[in-house]
Structure 1
């Protein structure tokens, strides 16, 4: 008997079809669990999934994203059902605190819960789905790493609306929550590979005044004024208050880290005082560089991603792969080029299935056993 697929895309979310699939999988795996990925257009169907899983006593968790990834396509309808042979440890935390002391306390509690689950099983991955509206994800990741260090691999993505309006986007069997995080502790899982392919502009500046994801000053001047000057000087474009939302995604910042890796930060909002709000925190005195769409090296990115998956897992041809693709990257490249990138990923890996979602920020380590970082504009891939 051939091995059952652990990924199922249903183009329609009908109770009968879900019941049928759950019964089929539960017959094979009595301790079955489900992680469901829904597109924003289907957000009202969470209750249908919860009811179906409750009816057959199957635990379910999941998230709502701007769109789904199905092999070489973006989908705005349907649902991905990602199955576990046995439901792993999971927790759904809501109303995460933003204060420094409170963030440290919740990280300590979460870490204690995780440590209690860690045994001598090799390769455990802490898989995290955050609500994209949580403003201090980077700080929370820092605090988690202080407590857990290299006991686990780190991977994840952000759920929510592409409009960046608050929306309940994480769920389990009973709840649908916002401003929270869904944690899954995956056993015998080697983690994820994260790539963006951006290369730095040699000109750098300093984020001299920041607060969370808000940059108030760059090189001691109003952030938006400096941003305008940099775009004009290096790329010959005029960014105004009126066209900022059109241009921001095409000219993101890069935070240059000590190891010369670049963490992308997309500016998504402009305040009256000239402050810029990004997807993800910008630490004080960060070294910034300006990036541009054509500097995305698609071939290099996909090669690194594919080779990284192989180095982690061995041969991934005919494997089932999970992929999160940044919504900002799709805006940055355009749907046609982004779709081409998806198709090329499926072709290069020769995966039997590629399941995932359009995400609003991604989480991965700088190395296989590395420090977890919150990224924009990346692809995160893992074996399911």
Structure 2
């Protein structure tokens, strides 16, 4: 594997077990040339307290990262293990919690170009609030890159790496002095709308155009696709028909509905605020893979030998594409040794628009030294 050594001093893949991960952390911490540690763990066999908390707390080097459904190493997905990156640039790391009224990243002079890695507990009630707080504090001018951490079957898992140990119900932000270019694409197309969200509470949509959300959603999906939908098969149908919130001059914000309540409300991964206008979307393998290719093209601007390629792709895209997901993964990296994760929601901003928390979206970031 070839990674840009100007950014990454060392990279290790610990295939399984907690002890190799702890040993690698200690080894990187002892290396005077490594100024930051970035760790991406797959959920299977993920490091767990209390041993890993003690190791993280003993580190003198700033550490950040998270636990995800799967990770990406050398351009391929891994269901187990941890990727540990030793950075030669010092990250400014902070943890945002629900009680934080302000963002308190160190007030060092901003470099000409900086990138922020952002990882958020995907199941935190205030995950979108964390993102809004960050953007309100720093706004445009930065590139932001990351995604939602956690597992698909346990919404209470500690999933974020910090120097205080594993944590959850929070966001971890690492600002590094490095140039980056970002590509964000989803590939879903509109089949109905726009509709107004007329009653909502965070992630739960109660009414669309003043009617129960499920009634509007199921009517459009059945009419436009011929697919029968009920509460029993809702999740299976919904994974290929998300909502899309329009953004002027940018990709739609895709929202995954995953649950129907008895009153006809729909719960999504990510907020759908009252007053927003949404479309119902659909996709197919070709449009999604083409979107991944477009995300790579938007991000790839420099000589690959001088950069590191990060990819954060939604785990639900992998589930939807199934046997063809390998084609999407190849499109995202263009046969380069990408590193990243399959996330539960994606965080991205291209330096010119609003920072958003996406669903079902492919994000590519190419990073180089200033």
TM-score by length of structure 1 reads: 0.84
1:325 aligns with 2:308: no
Question: What are the within-5 Å matches in structure 2 for residues 13-32 of structure 1?
Answer: 13=17, 15=19, 19=23, 23=27, 26-27=30-31, 29-32=32-35
Q: For 2:152 and 2:162, how far apart are their aligned partners in 1?
A: 22
Query: How much has 1:14 moved relative to structure 2?
Result: 5.4
Q: Deviations over 1:312-332 (max 9, x none)?
A: xx1225743221110121222
Give the Å deviation of 1:162.
Answer: 1.1
Corresponding position of 2:221: 231
The answer on whether the counterparts of 1:135 and 1:281 sit within 8 Å (CA) in structure 2 is no
Question: 1:103 — aligned with what?
Answer: none
Task: Indicate the RMSD between aligned Cα atoms, in angstroms.
Answer: 2.7
Q: How does 1:292-331 map to 2 (within 5 A)?
A: 292-294=282-284, 297-311=287-301, 314-316=302-304, 319-331=307-319
Equivalent positions of 1:302-381 (< 5 A) are 302-311=292-301, 314-316=302-304, 319-334=307-322, 336-346=323-333, 348=334, 350-351=335-336, 353-365=337-349, 367-381=350-364
- Whole-angstrom CA distance in 2 between matches of 1:236 and 1:200: 16
Tell me the CA shift for residue 18 of structure 1: 5.4
Q: In the alignment, what sits opposite 2:84?
A: 81
CA displacement 1:332-368 (0-9 Å, x = unmatched): 222x22222112333x2x42x2111110011112x43
> Residue 255 of structure 1 contacts residue 286 of structure 1 at CA under 8 Å; is this kept in 2?
yes
Shift of 1:86: 4.0
> Distance between the aligned counterparts of 1:137 and 1:21, measured in 2?
28
Q: Contact 2:293–2:328 at 8 Å: present in 1 too?
A: no
1:185 is aligned to 175
46, 66, 70: which one pairs with 1:67?
Answer: 70
**Structure 1 contact 199–296 (Cα < 8 Å) conserved:** no
What corresponds to 1:102 in structure 2? Answer: none
Q: 1:140 to 1:32 in 2, by over 3 A?
A: closer
- Cα–Cα, structure 1 residues 369 and 257, in superposed 2: closer, same or farther, change >3 Å? closer
Answer yes or no: is 1:287 the counterpart of 2:277: yes
Give the strand-richer structure, 1 or 2.
2
Tell me whether 137-146 or 192-201 shows the greater mean CA deviation. Answer: 137-146
User: 1:109 is matched with which residue: 80, 102, 109?
Assistant: 102
Between the aligned partners of 2:230 and 2:20, the Cα distance in structure 1 is: 52
Preserved CA contact (<8 Å) 1:71 1:343? no
Task: Check whether the contact 1:280–1:374 (CA below 8 A) recurs between aligned residues.
Answer: yes
Distance across 2 between alignment mates of 1:210 and 1:16: 46
> What residue number does 2:44 align with?
41
Q: Return the alpha-carbon distance in structure 2 between the equivalents of residues 246 and 256 of structure 1.
A: 24
In the comparison of the two structures, how many residue pairs are matched?
362
- Output the CA distance in 2 between the equivalents of 1:7 and 1:31: 11
CA distance in 1, matches of 2:88, 2:49: 22
Q: Distance in 2 between matches of 1:244 and 1:283?
A: 22
TM-score under structure 2 normalisation? Answer: 0.87
Residues 45 and 189 of structure 1, relative CA distance in 2, 3 Å threshold:
farther
Between the aligned partners of 1:192 and 1:6, the Cα distance in structure 2 is 23
Q: In 2 relative to 1, CA 160–330 (structure 1 residues): closer, same or farther, beyond 3 Å? A: same
- CA distance, structure 1, for counterparts of residue 108 and residue 346 of structure 2: 24
Q: Against the structure 1 CA distance between its residues 302 and 283, is the aligned structure 2 distance closer, same or farther, given a 3 Å change threshold?
A: same
Report how far residue 128 of structure 1 moved: 1.2
Residues 242 and 256, structure 2, Cα contact 8 Å, conserved in 1: yes
Question: In the alignment, does 2:16 pair up with 1:12?
Answer: yes
Native 8 Å contact 2:309 2:338 kept in 1 = yes
Map 1:68-217; keep pairs closer than 5 Å: 68-94=71-97, 96=98, 106=100, 108-110=101-103, 113-114=104-105, 116-163=106-153, 165-190=155-180, 192-201=182-191, 203-217=193-207
- Runs of 5+ unmatched residues, structure 1: 98-105
Equivalent position SS for 1:230:
helix
CA change 1:151–1:17 in 2 (3 A) is closer
